[in-house]
Chain A
Amino acid sequence: MHSFLLRGNAVLTFALTVLAVACVLASLTDTLHSSKPEVNVEILSVDAFGRNPGGNDEVVLTLHISADLQSVFTWNTKQLFVFLAAEYESSKNVLNQISIWDSIIQSKEDAKIHRRTRNKYSFVDQGSNLRGKDFNLTLHWNIMPVTGAMFSEKRVLTGFRLPKNYM
């Protein structure tokens, strides 16, 4: 009952158990946190709009994205994965979600976004449904913890519309 190995085993098991409980408690504190994010996105210009070589509608936009996500950070937050998705309905698909820009924010200080940029990923439809299309731009952020449960929040911005004709 007093051998070196048995004592070592007991200490190790206890340490791992305490660590696991600490991780769970740390994660639980995230559920108590409330955030006040501010988000605004504008489309500055439609730079190209037509059919791509695959026959599907494709559009290139220049956007201005501004967001203040500092209040989303908790002590248990490792990073925020932020992405902007264009969301719309077409006759074929009840929902299309296309991520057109993303960014990783690793500290609270970097959580104020003021970006003027072209869409990072191609905004391509399945088919030819984008002319005159009304769509939402939703800013999503995935809260990735130091340890424990992951959360996801979003802010939907409505009222965007693509041109009636190809450019």
Chain B
Amino acid sequence: MEMVRNAVHSVRSIHYRQLATQIISLGMIVTSALIIWKGLMCVTGSESPVVVVLSGSMEPGFQRGDILFLRMTKDPIRAGEIVVFNVDGRDIPIVHRVIKVHERQETGEVEVLTKGDNNYGDDRLLYAQGQLWLQRHHIMGRAVGFLPYVGWVTIIMTEKPVIKYILIGVLGLLVLTSKE
């Protein structure tokens, strides 16, 4: 109760210049996070340099809640690589392993089939209607590194948005009422 009364008192006695400074600092924090994210996109050459594993189709190697570091280079795609791809018409990226590669003679264009380690069959059921292979332009990156458990924060915030709003609300309140 004391904390709430103090918070209300400090909000009411705030000076406008101080308020503006604190709002700008908040903006700076958000902007630097965005700069770091975009910078990572440039360095790794991938549209999403970090993804969270959402399903159990790659168990026991990757569990739900792990995060994967991605990188995209011009190197040709080879069997065994773990790639992230988007199926036309769906916006959730899938992270599975390449099991078949057919690379054309002159053009170097490639047709690829993927499969989740923990799935019984290959991914043809997941591809678009009538699509039998993935091409290079479907693939957004290769998984090169891995951290366990860290992605659970993102999963919880996506599946229970209430927690996201509470968190942002509390952080905002802390920034506005801190006397530093």
A pairs with B: yes
Residues of A within 8 A of B (CB): 5, 23, 27, 78-79, 81, 83, 85, 91-99, 102, 104, 106, 121, 126, 140, 142, 144-150, 152, 154
CA distance A140 to B98 in the complex (A): 12
The answer to whether A104 and B117 touch (CB under 8 A), given A94-B104, A95-B101, A99-B99, is yes
28 contacts between A and B (CB under 8 A): A27-B145, A78-B61, A79-B60, A79-B61, A81-B61, A81-B117, A85-B79, A85-B80, A91-B105, A92-B104, A92-B105, A94-B104, A95-B102, A96-B101, A96-B102, A97-B78, A97-B100, A99-B80, A104-B60, A121-B99, A121-B122, A140-B80, A144-B61, A146-B148, A147-B148, A148-B145, A150-B143, A150-B144
CA distance A144 to B145 in the complex (A): 9
| CB nearest to B143 among chain A residues | A150
Interface size class of B (residues with CB under 8 A): 20 to 34
Q: Is the CB of A23 within 8 A of B147?
A: yes
Q: Is the CB of B145 within 8 A of A149?
A: yes
Interface assignment of B103: CB less than 8 Å from any CB of chain A: yes
- Candidates B61, B78, B111, B143; contact of A104 at CB < 8 Å: B61
CA distance A140 to B143 in the complex (A): 16
Point out the residues of chain A lying under 8 angstroms from B102, CB to CB.
93, 95-96, 126
Residues 137-169 of chain B, each 1 if its beta carbon lies under 8 Å from chain A, else 0? 000000111111000000000000000000000
Q: Is the CB of B145 within 8 A of A93?
A: no
Interface assignment of B24: CB less than 8 Å from any CB of chain A: no
Q: Which of B71-103 contact A (CB under 8 A)?
A: 78-82, 97, 99-103
Point out the residues of chain B lying under 8 angstroms from A102, CB to CB.
99, 117
- Candidates B61, B79, B143, B145; contact of A83 at CB < 8 Å: B79
Point out the residues of chain B lying under 8 angstroms from A98, CB to CB.
79, 99-100
| CB nearest to A146 among chain B residues | B148
B82 to chain A, nearest CB (A): 8
CA distance A154 to B79 in the complex (A): 11
Q: Is the CB of A147 within 8 A of B146?
A: yes
B78 to chain A, nearest CB (A): 7
Q: Is the CB of B60 within 8 A of A106?
A: yes
B64 to chain A, nearest CB (A): 15
Interface assignment of B174: CB less than 8 Å from any CB of chain A: yes
Q: Is the CB of A97 within 8 A of B101?
A: yes
| CB nearest to B145 among chain A residues | A149
| CB nearest to A138 among chain B residues | B79
CA distance A91 to B105 in the complex (A): 8
CA distance A92 to B144 in the complex (A): 31
Leading 4 A-B pairs by shortest Cβ distance: A97-B79, A99-B99, A97-B101, A95-B103
B18 to chain A, nearest CB (A): 18
CA distance A142 to B105 in the complex (A): 27
Q: Is the CB of B99 within 8 A of A150?
A: no
Q: Is the CB of B105 within 8 A of A94?
A: yes
Point out the residues of chain A lying under 8 angstroms from B111, CB to CB.
126
A59 to chain B, nearest CB (A): 14
CA distance A81 to B60 in the complex (A): 10
Point out the residues of chain A lying under 8 angstroms from B174, CB to CB.
5
Q: Which of B29-70 contact A (CB under 8 A)?
A: 60-61
Q: Is the CB of A99 within 8 A of B79?
A: yes
